[in-house]
Amino acid sequence: MEYVTLLNGIKMPMVGLGTWDLRGDEVTRAVLEAIDVGYRLIDTAQMYENEEAIGKAVKNSNVAREDLFITTKLHTPFRSYDLAKKGIEDSLKNLKTDYIDLMLIHGAYDEAEEMYRAFEQALETGKVRAIGISNFSIERYNKFIENCNIMPAVNQVDSHVYHPRHDLKEVLDKKGTVMEAWSCLTQKKRNISEEPVLKEIGEVHGKTPAQIALKYLVQQGIVVIPKTSHKERMIENIQLFDFMLNKDEMRRIDVLDEGKTLFEWTGH
Ligand SMILES: NC(=O)c1ccc[n+]([C@@H]2O[C@H](COP(=O)([O-])OP(=O)(O)OC[C@H]3O[C@@H](n4cnc5c(N)ncnc54)[C@H](OP(=O)(O)O)[C@@H]3O)[C@@H](O)[C@H]2O)c1
């Protein structure tokens, strides 16, 4: 596993398990299997209603808590300073943990700045190890950072080979905010496995089209959190560090960029 160092020195794995739409025993099993095959980053959110089941897996896993990296997010029911403060406590309780590795504001809400004050305080008291945002456009990010005391460590946004968002990445890079990709496999909106350029490049490296699509992001320093409940795919999605895409291959994948999101909902 490779890691990226966040602004405050915390190390974050470059690949994690997404858990949207997985609940109950299924997500407990999936997280235990993922940890077993080498995952250390688990991505959840209060919105996914699976924090408790993930907490169960974290408690029962053979890997020490300090070797895991748990991300969670607060959404619309927590849109004030007081509610965000309560939301952090709720997540700690649900996840059965003393601290959260990365806490994100789930969308670019009008109250995001106010919620972030509660995040900044939780960082000071050690309840969270890093704080950030999700679904912030360039414009909203620039406005947000004018008003925060601590730079967001991460902006988690929809990003994949058809919409890599190089312009946003460039803005985030300048300020040291790491870009993290949700829908890194397009949430099945596109059949990545049949994309000719990904298949051709995959054949050269002995990799699947999904691995090439993920590597394209990881090689640019973008953290990926592909979701799957299948163990064989978990293994596939994490095996990204034994090859490199050359400049020509990166350029051939660049051409897939359609310049717009595939999603109606992007958290705004
Ligand atoms: N911040 C936000 O607003 C936000 C929004 C959405 C999601 N997220 C987070 O980001 C994570 C990832 O995004 P996502 O779940 O939307 O979509 P995704 O990871 O792009 O795609 C998941 C889909 O891809 C399939 N898949 C996984 N590995 C595959 C492989 N190797 N080959 C072919 N298909 C594969 C999965 O099917 P199977 O499960 O059947 O294997 C699943 O249906 C989420 O789970 C969640 O944690 C965050």
pLDDT of residue 264: 83
Listed in sequence order, the residues at least 6 apart from 170 whose beta carbon sits closer than 8 Å to its beta carbon are none
Total domain count for the chain?
1
Let me know if residue 49 belongs to a domain: yes
Q: Tell me the CA distances in angstroms from 129 to 11, 123, 223, one per residue in order.
A: 10, 6, 17
Give the CATH number of the domain where residue 81 resides.
Answer: 3.20.20.100
Sign, CA dihedral 19-212-41-145, equals: negative
State pLDDT tens for residues 5-62: 999 999 999 999 999 999 999 999 999 999 999 999 999 999 999 999 999 999 999 9
Is residue 81 part of the annotated active site? The answer reads no
Contact 99, 92 (CB under 8 A): yes
252 in a structural domain: no
DSSP assignment of the chain: --EEE-TTS-EEESBEEE-TT--HHHHHHHHHHHHHTT--EEE--GGGT-HHHHHHHHHHSSS-GGG-EEEEEE-GGG-SHHHHHHHHHHHHHHTT-S-BSEEEESS--TTHHHHHHHHHHHHHTTSBS-EEEES--HHHHHHHHHS-SS--SEEEEE-BTTB--HHHHHHHHHHTPEEEEESTTGGGSS-GGG-HHHHHHHHHHT--HHHHHHHHHHTTT-EE--B-S-HHHHHHHH--SS----HHHHHHHHTT--SS-S-S----
Range of the domain at 44: 3-190+221-242
| pLDDT beneath 50: ranges in the chain | 268
- Residue 266 has a pLDDT of 64
Best residue among 43, 161, 218, 228 to mutate for probing ligand 1's pocket (most ligand atoms within 8 Å of CB) is 228
The answer to whether residue 45 sits within a structural domain is: yes
Q: Within a domain: residue 195?
A: no
- The pTM is what? 0.97
Task: Tell me whether residue 65 is in a domain.
Answer: yes
Assigned domain for 176 exists = yes
Going by alpha carbons, the residue nearest to atom 10 of ligand 1 is: 182
**Cβ atoms of 30 and 235 closer than 8 Å:** no
Task: Indicate which residue's Cα is closest to atom 38 of ligand 1.
Answer: 228
| pLDDT score at 115 | 97
The reply to whether 203 falls in a domain is: no
Residue 186 Cα to ligand 1 midpoint, Å, equals: 7
CA of 160 to the centre of ligand 1 (A): 11
Answer whether residue 200 is part of any domain.
Answer: no
> Which amino acid appears at position 197 of this protein?
V
The catalytically annotated residue of 39, 48, 162, 216 is 48
